[in-house]
Chains A and B, each alone.
Chain A
Amino acid sequence: MRSSLHRGRLMLVFVVVTALMLTLLGRLWYLQIVTGPSYARAATESRVRSVVLPPVRGQILDVRGRPLVANETKPQVSVDYMALIHQPDGGKDVLTRLARALGRPYREIADRARLCAKDVPRPCWPGSPYQPIIVADDVSVRTALWIAERQDEFPGVSTALRPVRTYPLGSAAAHVLGYLQPPSPDDPAGGRELVGRDGLEAEYDRDLAGRTGIREVAVDSTGKVTGLIREEAAVAGDNLVTSIDARIQEVAERALARAVTAARKRGEPADSGAAVVLEAQTGRVTAIADYPTYDPSVWTGGISQREYEELPLVSAAVQGQWPPGSTWKVTSTAAAAKAGYSLRASYDCPGGYMIGGRVFHNFESADLGRMDMHRALVVSCDTIFYRFADEMWRRDGGLKPVKRPKDPMQTMAREFGFGTPTGVDLPYEAPGRVPDRAWKKANWERTRADSCRRAKTGYPEMSDRKRAAYLKALAADNCRSGGVWWAGDAANFSIGQGDVLVTPLQLARGYAALANGGTVFSPRIGKRIVRADGTVVRTITPPVVGKIDVSRKTLRFIRDALADVPRTGTAAGAFEGYAFKRLPVAGKTGTAEAYGRRDTSWFASFGPVKKPKYVVVVVVSQGGTGGTTAAPAAREIWEGIAALSHDDQKKPKKKDGRR
């Protein structure tokens, strides 16, 4: 019918058309069959958005359930990256309006809303573009509501309430409570925004944190949620009930601050201090006050590097260590008793005691005459202890020590729990130091190279030439020989001077052991882990870590002696007019000397004397004598405790009366 020409041309079109369609089929095969699985994965990734549901962190409560750390929900504004970039102008318009609503510069909001990349400087968003990007977290409720009500004006912007930590008692126990920080890069912490970094927040992080929930939602191309795929609800963290009594904590902080202020008025530097209140019979911590302290609310809403560096984050009570001064004499007395010295015998307390050609003096070189150990503790005689130390040192062989020296004083000090961390439920605890022959040798070997260098070069950087010359001579001595435990070292040790170091918490638990008849606890602040519904997850009991191997009689003797210190002894001035009848208190002052520094002021006490309930230890670094600075603060704390126990006893009576 048609010419072969047309047939040929139609054949050509047929071939071309068929080839085109087969090309499409081939491509379709490649996309769907060959590479289909990878596209299926890509589809899931673009369609499913995982939202991390942060759990509510548990509260930290005091012994009566008063919150020390609570949560408060604060509005937070976030933007949806995917929704913004699909807007015609890339979200610029919305962000401009948002910046205006928040009263912030546009640049700041826009910078926070961009994704971090190689050439993008901070601030930027380091997370996934599918996670809401937080652009403001300290928004007023009004502003947040205003934005939330205008979703059509702010597409891609969302507001949500997020819990933040609050501190109802202000700066109280800031160091004990600790703080939260974003997890370090090497510890992703299960996608959590913040982890406990110090204090109880760090120690009980696993209990407080709860479990992060996850919600996987299906989203459309604009980021709008179209359905729920999977949800695993967040589990709220457990609450931590502590043995801290907020009222005593406040009293302790106030007393400590006042002591510091008073010491400064007297011209002392008083650069730091601590007050520790322990339950003598249980080893629980009732209060830990630190100076200087800070307001933990600085942690909420982000903290700048400068602010962070200026914060006093070291807890004087747990991380600070000083020579204990005469508070140490309770261990030395116990050691002497155990070594066979009669406590009731009469000893001479001269103004000075000669050891190795050098006179070791009493405080202010006073010659106090003859006395028994009771009085020696009350008036804090040093020379009697020098004698004990000297004799014990000789018995151990002196400069040529026997193979296994008894070291009665060191042994007793260790029994009291000194020289090792208490194991309290707080991180970064300092161990203190109980120096002995071995320590001195090791320390000398460690510092010898430096001593030899200093013996040559001297101390040219020091302006005090006299002191520099003294130190140079000392360095030369230490370079030649050293590491020997002299009788003088033993004497210094016996009265808590020299190389002895204790933390306030160690001293408190030592005094608790003295008060409770010899049981050494590892103190605990946490008391119970309680679920949000009130069920107890677990109870925390301070473990017993040691028992002082000394007769109960000896301990009672020391306690009785210490009972006279505030009445007639070194703390009598501080306790003048104190109502001993209401709450009889026993204690010991300590004044630790350090070359080139002012004295460390200590007061360690317990009460009531007959059946001790609490131990109170106060230290003020460079604060003067124990009687002038630390003892008045301790007295204030005791008065606070007495007032509170009085209130507590009255309350149930009232109830009974009504019945």
Chain B
Amino acid sequence: MTAFGPLSVRLPSGHGTRRGVWARLARLPAWGLVLPSAALSAVGLLLVWSATRNEPDSTLPQRQALSVGIGFVLMWVVSRVDLRVLRAYVPVLYLLALAGLVAVLTPLGRTVNGSHAWIVLGDGLQFQPSEFAKAATVLALATVLGELRDGERRPGAGAVLLALGLAALPVGLIALQPDYGTALVFLALTIGMIAVSGARKRWFAALAAAGAAGLLLVWRLDLIQPYQLERLMVLADPDADPMGVGYNATQARIAIGSGGLLGKGLFHGEQTAGRFVPEQHTDFIFTVAGEELGFVGASCVILLMLALLWRGLWIAAKSPSPFGTAVAGGVVCWLAFQTFVNVGMTMGLLPIAGLPLPFVSYGGSATISSLAAVGLLAAVNRRTRTPA
């Protein structure tokens, strides 16, 4: 596990020391986290810029830059928060997240791109409560699963059931939007956190059984929409209907495949310029990476993400508290699953699900919450480094 170490920088302890700019910079949350997330955000900004260069609304890159800026500020703020203090506020955060998810279902909510996931606060100011609910749920589950009584090595049945219940609420609310992709991210991080918490293996068996039963229920009750079925079928045979449902998948694969080894160069992607791939600046941003940066650049995006995930797992492993481990594990599972589903769908590995690529896709809520999640990792890391 020491393999994760070299990226981290030992941070000085204490506050308010004035040793110049470099010292203050050095106080930023762990470089092993900042570097990959900053690199991904920067690449994301460039790709959003490139993807929207023919878009009539030219302010999208600026808006994304603003989101990244806010995200990094929030990352820093979160990283400075004492975990024990944070933990005290978890119920409040969790309830706020739930309130947001409920509000989405009220007339306050708005549908964008077929997903009723947005709350509009004013002109141009809108956000997706489900993105922030991810962080809140991670914290809530970590609180429950990391609250080990003396002598306990693993959370008991009560804690696991409570965690499942806490996870089920946002999952249910998000499924009502409906946004099954995001709901799956919650499921993934829940399973991941239960695993990391050390709960008994039978819980996984039970979860798997419950999941199978749930799928069966969805199938039997005709809850699955025809378009979702089509998306699944397109995965099996991408050329079945290249002008209809298969269009996205086909065009995405053409854009990525045509990039080759070195890509066509940033701002030189012809498929990107022609906007052949719908949603290429949001959910399909990876196609721009694939076409313009080629295998070299696009694999760098994946490797940067892998570096971040490895660093997160290292932090989880080094955390002195089960709470910290659970938080870090949850964040890692969240980002890993979301990355895999997003990139997998653009390359035809998985059915199309409306999930953004963390740090890279255009989208304020997702960018800010992802960066805040990195802040959580940093906070856990800080606690590892500076025992209070």
Interface residues of A (CB under 8 A from B): 1-3, 5-7, 9-10, 12-14, 16-18, 20-21, 23-25, 27-29, 31-33, 35-40, 42-43, 46-47, 85, 218-222, 226
Give which listed residue, A13, A35, A39, contacts B313 with CB less than 8 A.
A13
- Distance A66 CA – B243 CA, assembled complex (angstroms): 52
Cβ contact within 8 Å between A24 and B274: no
- Distance A39 CA – B305 CA, assembled complex (angstroms): 26
Cβ contact within 8 Å between A31 and B319: no
Residues in B whose Cβ lies below 8 Å from that of A38: 257
Residues in B whose Cβ lies below 8 Å from that of A33: 260-261, 295
Residues in B whose Cβ lies below 8 Å from that of A24: 302, 339-340, 343-344, 347, 349
Cβ contact within 8 Å between B318 and A1: yes
Residues in A whose Cβ lies below 8 Å from that of B363: none
Q: Which residue of B lies closest to A38 (CB)?
A: B257
Residues in B whose Cβ lies below 8 Å from that of A226: 54, 273-274
Cβ contact within 8 Å between A42 and B309: no
Cβ contact within 8 Å between A25 and B302: yes
Residues in B whose Cβ lies below 8 Å from that of A25: 299, 302-303
Give which listed residue, A3, A9, A31, contacts B347 with CB less than 8 A.
A31
Least Cβ–Cβ distance between A45 and chain B, in angstroms: 9
Interface residues on B, range: 35 or more
Give which listed residue, A2, A16, A220, contacts B274 with CB less than 8 A.
A220
Report which residue of B259, B277, B320, B337 has the largest number of chain A beta carbons within 10 angstroms of its beta carbon: B259
- Distance A9 CA – B199 CA, assembled complex (angstroms): 10
Residues in B whose Cβ lies below 8 Å from that of A40: 257-258, 260
Cβ contact within 8 Å between A36 and B270: no
Q: Which residue of A lies closest to B277 (CB)?
A: A221
- Distance A364 CA – B378 CA, assembled complex (angstroms): 127
Cβ contact within 8 Å between A5 and B198: yes
Q: A10-B317, A14-B310 are in contact. List 4 more A-B contacts (CB 8 A).
A: A6-B317, A6-B325, A36-B257, A43-B257
- Distance A12 CA – B298 CA, assembled complex (angstroms): 26
Interface residues of B (CB under 8 A from A): 1, 54, 153-154, 192, 195-198, 243, 251, 253-261, 270-271, 273-278, 290, 294-295, 298-299, 302-303, 305-306, 309-310, 313, 316-320, 322, 325, 329, 332-333, 336-337, 339-340, 343-344, 347-349
Known: A1-B320, A10-B317, A21-B340. A46 touches B257 (CB 8 A): no
Residues in B whose Cβ lies below 8 Å from that of A6: 196-198, 317, 322, 325
> What are some 14 contacts across the A-B interface (CB < 8 A)?
A2-B317, A3-B153, A3-B198, A5-B198, A12-B195, A13-B195, A18-B306, A21-B303, A21-B336, A23-B349, A28-B302, A32-B294, A38-B257, A220-B274
Known: A5-B153, A10-B196. A39 touches B295 (CB 8 A): no
Least Cβ–Cβ distance between A387 and chain B, in angstroms: 85
Closest 3 CB pairs of A and B: A39-B257, A220-B274, A43-B258
Q: Which residue of A lies closest to B342 (CB)?
A: A24
Give which listed residue, A10, A14, A20, A28, contacts B298 with CB less than 8 A.
A28
Residues in A whose Cβ lies below 8 Å from that of B270: 43, 47, 218
Residues in B whose Cβ lies below 8 Å from that of A20: 336-337, 339-340
Cβ contact within 8 Å between A36 and B298: no
Give which listed residue, B154, B258, B310, contacts A39 with CB less than 8 A.
B258
Cβ contact within 8 Å between A32 and B295: yes
Cβ contact within 8 Å between B254 and A27: no
Known: A20-B336, A21-B305, A218-B270. A46 touches B198 (CB 8 A): no
Cβ contact within 8 Å between A10 and B310: no
- Distance A343 CA – B330 CA, assembled complex (angstroms): 125
